[in-house]
Structure 1
């Protein structure tokens, strides 16, 4: 019976818990999402910690808030940029470094037994990738953390310009062929036709025809 109770409690502790992975780039800001609905219980206490969430509170707490005017934050690189009044307690790490990689836990303390909203996030830090596009013999270098749409648009515009040039040349050739055909038709229809020339016959041939 005791074992069943422990198993039941273990299941309850996993309620409203999730795990996700986030990729960050060295030297850039990275945000670990954590949100809850404030329409039922209002603004609630929450905390962020390094490592997997324990049964209660957070392990190695780095950000916490409990009915105070401002949250307690252990480092100026940790920011809460969302609207906490609307339930957005996402953690933003400024100028993320290799040492920031690892598991983070967000806990929102919802009233009741084992009702806490928990989010475990594994932050993976990577070196930014620089992608080079070659368009019209010109290199466009794009930072992987930037929007690739601008570089793609540049390549598409260059390709469209070449396409317009090809279409213009093809149109010129087509019009030239049409004009040539019209000239030939005009000459055949409207220019006066030459009278047929009868071949001249010699007197000897005429005598032969009379005989």
Structure 2
């Protein structure tokens, strides 16, 4: 009866270990395979990682394990436990994963007692990482002669630009001066015309006033009264 019990437990344990959890990753990148347990329930336990499914005892093709909380790692540059084993996190990190890292990995947590170990089987599936475009700078060899010719062209272009700007400024000044002179000529003509027409208007006004003003006529002298006076003077003297 006891032997039958061990057989049944072994079968059930074997069936449980057949379950695979798939984890994906990219080539050239770090990939983490999870494996955790409850420290509060079991305390700090030993563990192991190996290639292939977890067998009935220990790990298959073990490359990382712990004993009495001392970690043994055959290749620390490739395999690391970045979690905290004292907190129950013994997840495996594969550094710079390559195509050869694909496959099944097994993690065993060794719980004291018969057939109590925790078994975790994981299949790692990798994909090609996107190709990053590398930008390269093109360098052109320039001789001293080429640099001198380039410098002369640049200087000539700057000189030509400056001369063109000075010529343009001179032309604009001449055009402005001509416009100003034309304005003065027009102003002189307007002033002369205004003076001429003002003189004509004044003359016409003066003539019109003289024409319509009434003339002064001289009154004729009454000579007959004077003669009577002179005639009366001798007669009076005779009476005296």
TM band (smaller chain): 0.5 to 0.7
Partner of 1:109: 110
Partner of 1:119: 120
Q: CA deviation at 1:62?
A: 1.1
Counting strand residues as a fraction of each chain, which structure ranks higher?
Answer: 1
Q: CA deviation at 1:125?
A: 1.3
Partner of 1:83: 84
| Residues paired across the two proteins, number | 130
Q: Quick check: 1:72 aligned with 2:72?
A: yes
- 2: CA distance between counterparts of 1:23 and 1:66? 30
Question: TM-score, normalised to structure 2's length?
Answer: 0.50
Of 6-15 and 37-46, the range deviating more from structure 2: 6-15
Q: State the superposition RMSD in angstroms.
A: 2.4
Determine helix, strand or coil for the equivalent of 1:103.
strand
Give CA-to-partner distance per residue, 1:37-74, whole Å, 9 cap, x none: 000221001000000111010000011001043x1111
- 2: CA distance between counterparts of 1:8 and 1:80? 31
Cα distance, 1:12–1:123 mapped onto 2, change above 3 Å: closer
- 1: CA distance between counterparts of 2:44 and 2:66? 10
- 2: CA distance between counterparts of 1:40 and 1:128? 40
Partner of 1:23: 24
Counting helix residues as a fraction of each chain, which structure ranks higher?
Answer: 2
Question: TM-score, normalised to structure 1's length?
Answer: 0.56
Q: CA deviation at 1:126?
A: 1.0
Q: CA deviation at 1:14?
A: 4.6
Partner of 2:178: none
Cα distance, 1:16–1:121 mapped onto 2, change above 3 Å: closer
Partner of 1:56: 57
Moved over 2 A (4+): 1-9, 12-19
Of 74-83 and 12-21, the range deviating more from structure 2: 12-21
Of 11-20 and 52-61, the range deviating more from structure 2: 11-20
Structure 1: state its 5+ residue gaps.
131-211
